[in-house]
Amino acid sequence: MLATTSDMPTAASASAGPRRPERTASALSILVVDDDPIEVRILRKHLSEAGYSVLIARDGEEALEALATEAPRLTVTDLMMPKMDGIAFCKALRGSVVGRQMQVIMLTGCEEEESLVGALEAGADDYVIKPVRPRELLARVRAAHRTILLQDQLRRDKDDIRRYAAELAFANRKLQEAALTDHLTGLPNRRCAMERLAQEWAASARNDQMLACIFVDVDNFKQVNDRYGHDVGDQVIREIGAVLKTAARECDVVCRIGGEEFVVICRDTDEAGAAHLAERARQDLEQHVFGTPGLDSQVTLSAGVAVRAGGMCRPGDLLNAADAAVYAAKKAGRNCIKIASVGMNSFTSEE
């Protein structure tokens, strides 16, 4: 049966019955494993007087059973015991999850090298030669206690490092998102558009797939800012971004590349498909009712459509072709779609 320091009643406590010793947050719990009652009494006296909380087990088997309910950080165990001696107990202790975290001091009356080496190889951290000298015992217990405190600090430091690393990774992700996101619309920004266009260009070349780009420019947007102010203009841009996002497919990438200009990157899409998407977006915006108080002007867009063709050498050529097509849409009276066609040496625009 596991006993504690309070199991030995004093005159003051005999009438009150046994009670478990009080443990402070800083108290070290020590499990003493010994079948000699006199030795146990001596160990318990010196350890308790030094401020440690002491638990008693009479042999290794009882000590192992105690670990199921108790959580001592240090074990002082005799080498020679019935049922399970100190060596077997120590090996069993080191084989358990709880036991691997404990400090073990072995008590032995044998000073032979082979015996001491056997105890240490079984998993003991230190040993004390019997008969036990109190000052030596307490010095070794304090050394073990320092090791326990250092282990605890190391675990806290590791936890802190893991937490800081997770927080840093989260912050980095947020910064990366901010660096690639347009703050007004929440859409990918110009930098992200260029990176994504380069990625889709490479995938298109690698897989021999079609790639289309739609360049969108809001018509007469300067008049909206001049007439209603930039706050209204910002709201209009936000809603246009939402209209384009709704009109696009899930696989399309809608980006705001600056001011009133947007780009839609359409993977595995031919000219007709991209033109259909652009026309759908144009019609949706033409019919859109803005939720901006006082805005009574119709807002429209002009768009240029380009597809990756043999005369193009880099992603910028595709974007430039779509830009040229939107310029043609502006010249044609705005609120329309133009498709870029590839000539032998240059890009021209057609409806």
Query: Could you write out the DSSP letters of every residue in 288-338?
Result: -----TT--S---EEEEEEE--TT--SHHHHHHHHHHHHHHHHHTTSSSEE
Residues 118 and 115: their CA atoms lie apart, in Å, by 5
Strand 3-4: give its sheet, edge to edge.
3-4, 53-57, 29-33, 74-78, 103-108, 126-129
70, 57 Cβ separation under 8 angstroms:
no
Omega prior to 131 cis, within 30 of 0 = yes
User: Which of 130, 87, 128, 72 lies closest to 105, judged by CA?
Assistant: 128
Which residue is associated with the tokens 């217990």?
141
Q: Are 76 and 30 in contact (CB under 8 A)?
A: yes
CB 218 within 8 A of CB 301: yes
CA 71 to chain centre: 31
Report d(CA 159, CA 154) in Å as an integer: 9
> Which 3 state secondary structure label does DSSP give 43?
helix
Written as six digits, the tokens of 25 are 């947050």
* Cα–Cα distance for residue pair 128/105, rounded to 1 Å: 7
Q: Which residues are catalytic?
A: 260
